[in-house]
Amino acid sequence: MMAEPRSQDVLEEGVHLDAASDDAEMAELRSLLLGPAEGQIAEIHERLTDPHRQLTEVSTVLPDAIAVRTRQDDELANALGPTVTTAIERSVRKNPQPLVDAIFPVIGPAIRRAISVALSGMVQSLNQSMAYSFSVQGLKWRIEAWRTGKPFAEVVMLHTLLFRVEQVFLIHRETGLLLQHVVAGSAAVQDADMVSGMLTAIQDFVHDSFNSPAEEQLETLEVGELTVWIEQGPLAILAAVIRGTAPQELRPVFQETLETIHLQFRTALQDFSGDASEFDGARPLLEDCLQTQVDQDKQAAAPNRFPRSLIVIASIILLALLVWGFFAWRDSRRWNAYVERVRREPGVVVTDAGTRDGKYFIDGLRDPLARDPQAFLAEANVDPKTVVTRFEPFQAMSPEFVLPRARRLLEPPPTVNLKFDNGVLEAEGFASLEWITEMRRTVRFVPGVTQFKDENLLAVDRIVNPSLLFELDKTEPAPGQEEKFKQLMADIERLQKLAESMNKNARLEITGHADGSGSEERNAELSRGRAEKIASELNARLPSKNNLTIVAAASKEKLRAELTEADRAANRSVTFKIILTDAR
Amino acid sequence: MMSERNIVQKKICMLGTFAVGKTSLVRRFVQSIYSDKYHTTVGVKIDKKLIDMDGTQKMMMMLWDVEGAEQAHELRKSYLRGASGYLLVADGTRKETLYRALEIQTRAQDALGLVPYVFLINKSDLVDEWTIDERELEALVEKGWHVIRTSAKSGVGVEEAFMALARKMMEMPK
Ligand SMILES: Nc1nc2c(ncn2[C@@H]2O[C@H](COP(=O)(O)OP(=O)(O)O)[C@@H](O)[C@H]2O)c(=O)[nH]1
Ligand SMILES: [Mg+2]
């Protein structure tokens, strides 16, 4: 600081000194002193005074200068701020469209991001509850897919088809011409280019008719069960044809697509002259609009990986199947065993057996004498409630059925024994002549009996009442009874033999009788005397009497009413009662 | 870049007073049939026709036909917007439709700038009722207008008129 004023003083001094000297000298001196620098000084002078030169020079350094300064501090921004604001304000007042066009691709995402940040907390909790409910849903669909044999994806598709974006139009805003058109699936849609024009025309119509401001455009059109969603951009329109009820979340997908298209195809959109092939590159973007939303829903609804809970449930199902399979197998084994058992049963014929309408059934024929097949169910461990039984009655020809049947039809007294062998029915023992006669008639109608034998069947009537006659008022038999007596003894002998062969003991009770004449006392005496007389006679004359017990008894009973002398004679007699006991 | 399909799309507007035959012309051109039945639609009716320009180039004409008694002063900008050309139609049997057409043309030019157009004097089949002065048409031709006499009823000049417009549009620099 100190040196400068001093040198100035020196210079001024010099000037004072030279004041008197000649101008030419001065010029020479100057050129001597400055030499070649003189030309440079002139150039510097020019650079400082010519505004055009200055402009060019500043322009070369300006961008770098701005860069340098911006790196240092914000002063430049502070300084320029008000000017830029005013400039933008003026520009927008004059024509807002360029600015709108320029910021449209940016502002949309910016606004949506701000909103989504604000809402994210809420959305998150919502997502969780959705995921939960959807996992249950997804499980149901997996089971349905398994049950119906349809591919899982198809089942999900059926259930999630709440909406489908079927077509997307990309329309040139200015001309209403169709730029691109994508269709979901195979449904061919005709005249997309005309639809495109109509959509624009409708837009214009609504806009013009209701005088709505430019930014408020028609967004939704309802056409039957279809909805058309229209997204407006400055240069292009995206229209989506949706079947069903589309969720609002779909809007941002369309908006973003339209913004991307604006970014990528800006110049093509501005210079469009009718060649839509320039927008072939936008097809994938539009196709994403067709599918992503549906796919996302599908995925959210039914996660592609099997959740752990599903594995557990699948295992339970498998286990249940195994258990069920085992029981089914065991049941069918039991059933088969039962049917076999019934087949073996005499008098029962199984014609058909199996399952019908979820129940076992067994059909056939059954002799009424055979055992009821239902009786074996418990034994075979088959639940009677699961079985439908139908047996028609029939007559079995096997020996074990012929004999019981014969017994039932012939009703033999206990003293008669029936035997059946190879078609031959044999009766042995003794019975009343009446029964024997009846039996001989009936036996011919017993199914299964081809021959009948009754040599060993004794009619006991001759023993019961051998018609032995006695003298009036005497215990002696009347003369001429010898033949009858011999016959009686033969009969008794035969009876005794039969009893033996039947393993029985026979006992004879002899009752004496008297006619109505004479006193009661005398008659009792006569009756007893007559019975004893015969008993002693028999005991004396029968060869073996070991097995025969003979008991004598009196009776007041008359064998028949006494109308004639013959009746009276017949009443003077004895009768027998045969008592069989088991032989010890 | 030329499309593989070689199809170029163009929006074309039908302009002209009420009942000059715009709708009939479109129908005749698109379907090659003429119907005497008069349909009034509300708003806009859009039709299309694919035409062969030469061996390789095809043009899809999107034909915008406005409905109703559209007057020059209420011709909607949105209707014209983006049109690559237009057909101006007058009715040869109604002289005043020619003057209306001239007004409409001025307005269309304001909105669209210098896009190609062809002037159609329609109903040429009704020569007996012809009221338009031939000298007035000649004056227009001298001004450089392309004037074609058409009949939507007989089909005369219809194809020619649309093709003329198509060629003009193809000649236009992009
Ligand atoms: N004779 C005749 N009648 C026509 C012709 N073109 C249209 N018309 C009739 O003119 C009337 C109006 O036609 P239209 O096409 O609806 O006119 P727009 O209002 O311009 O659409 C209808 O009755 C048509 O049948 C034509 O070339 N010849
Ligand atoms: Mg019409």
Question: What is the pLDDT at residue A152?
Answer: 64
- pLDDT interval class at A584 (50, 70, 90): low
More confident call, A190 vs A430: A430
- Taking the C-alpha atoms of residue A141 and residue A158, their distance in angstroms, rounded to an integer, is 10
Calculate the alpha carbon distances from B135 to B131, B132, B141, B143 in Å. Answer: 12, 9, 10, 13
Q: Is A25 on the interface with B (CB under 8 A)?
A: no
Domain limits, chain A: 69-147, 160-299, 310-393, 460-582
Q: Which letter does DSSP use for residue A515 in this model? A: -
Mean pLDDT of B56-84: 78
A172 vs B contacts (CB less than 8 Å):
82
pLDDT at position A554: 64
Q: What is the DSSP secondary structure assignment for residue A562, as one 8-state letter? A: -
Q: What is the ipTM score, two decimals? A: 0.81
pLDDT for the residue numbered B45: 79
- Parent domain of B147: 4-171
What's the pLDDT at B43?
64
A contact residues 191-230, partner B, Cβ 8 Å cutoff = 191, 193-194, 197-198, 201-202, 204-205, 207-208
CATH number for the region A160-299 comes to 3.30.450.70
- In B7-33, which positions are buried (b, 16+ CB within 10 angstroms) versus exposed (e)? bbbbbbbbbbbeebbbbbbbbbbeeee
Q: List, as ranges, residues with CB under 5 A of the ion ligand 2.
A: B 22-23
Digit-coded pLDDT (tens) for A271-324 = 998 999 999 999 999 988 885 444 444 445 455 555 566 677 777 888 888 888
Number of domains in chain B: 1
More confident residue, B153 or A544: B153
- The structural architecture, per CATH, of the domain A460-582 is 2-Layer Sandwich (3.30)
CA distance B39 to chain A (A): 18
Ligand 1, atom 12: closest residue by C-alpha: B19
How far does Cα A494 stand from its chain's mean position? 80
φ, ψ dihedrals at A256, nearest 5°: -65, -40
B17 C-alpha to center of ligand 1: Å? 11
Residue in chain B closest to A214 (alpha carbons) equals: B78
* A275–B78 C-beta distance less than 8 A: no
Residues 35-74 of B with CB under 8 A from A: 43-44, 46-48, 59-60, 62, 64
Q: List the single range of A172-176, A184-188, B22-26 with lowest mean pLDDT.
A: A184-188
Average pLDDT over residues A80-100: 77
Q: What pLDDT digit, counting tens, does each position of A394-409 carry?
A: 888 887 888 888 888 8
Confidence band for A145, pLDDT divided at 50, 70 and 90: confident
**What tokens appear for A7 in the block?**
């040198």
Pick the CATH number of A310-393 from 3.40.390, 2.90.10, 3.30.300, 1.10.8: 3.30.300
**Residues at CB less than 6 angstroms from ligand 1:** B 16, 18-24, 36, 38, 122-123, 125-126, 151-153
Q: Which of A194, A206, A269 to mutate to test the interface with B (most CBs of B within 10 A)?
A: A194
Compute the average pLDDT of residues B42-58.
80
Prediction pTM value? 0.45
- Residue of chain A whose alpha carbon sits nearest to that of B7: A275
Q: Which of B10, B45, B49, B62 to mutate to test the interface with A (most CBs of A within 10 A)?
A: B62
Query: At a CB cut-off of 8 Å and minimum separation 6, what does A190 contact?
Result: none
More confident residue, B42 or A309: A309
Contact residues, A window 246-275, toward B, CB-based 8 Å cutoff: 271, 273-275
Say which residue, A255 or A216, is predicted with more confidence. Answer: A255
pLDDT of residue A115: 47
Pocket test for ligand 1, best of B14, B17, B24, B159 (most atoms within 8 A of CB): B24
pLDDT level of residue A108 (50, 70, 90 thresholds): low
pLDDT for B91 equals 95
Q: Indicate whether A527 pLDDT > 70.
A: yes
Q: How far is A273 from chain B (nearest CA, A)?
A: 7
**Which residues in chain A are contacts of B76 at CB distance < 8 A?**
204, 208
In this structure, of A6-10, A527-531, B79-83, the range with the lowest mean pLDDT score is A6-10
> What is the per-residue pLDDT across B138-152, written as a single tens digit (0 to 9) for each?
999 999 999 999 999
What is the distance in angstroms between the Cα of B93 and the nearest Cα belonging to chain A? 31
pLDDT over 50 at B87, yes or no: yes
According to the model, what pLDDT value does residue A14 have?
44
Which pLDDT score, from 0 to 100, does residue A125 have?
33
Q: What is the CATH number of the domain that holds B137?
A: 3.40.50.300
- Predicted pLDDT at A305: 52
CA distance to A136, A156, A498, A575, per residue, from A509 (Å): 96, 101, 18, 8
Least confident among A444-448, B19-23, B109-113 = A444-448
Question: Which of A242, A249, A247, A248 minimizes the C-alpha distance to A225?
Answer: A242
pLDDT digits (tens, 9 = 90+) for A351-371: 898 888 888 999 999 988 888
Report the candidate in A143, A84, A193 with the shortest Cα–Cα distance to residue A318.
A143
| Nearest ligand 1 atom, CA B154 | 27
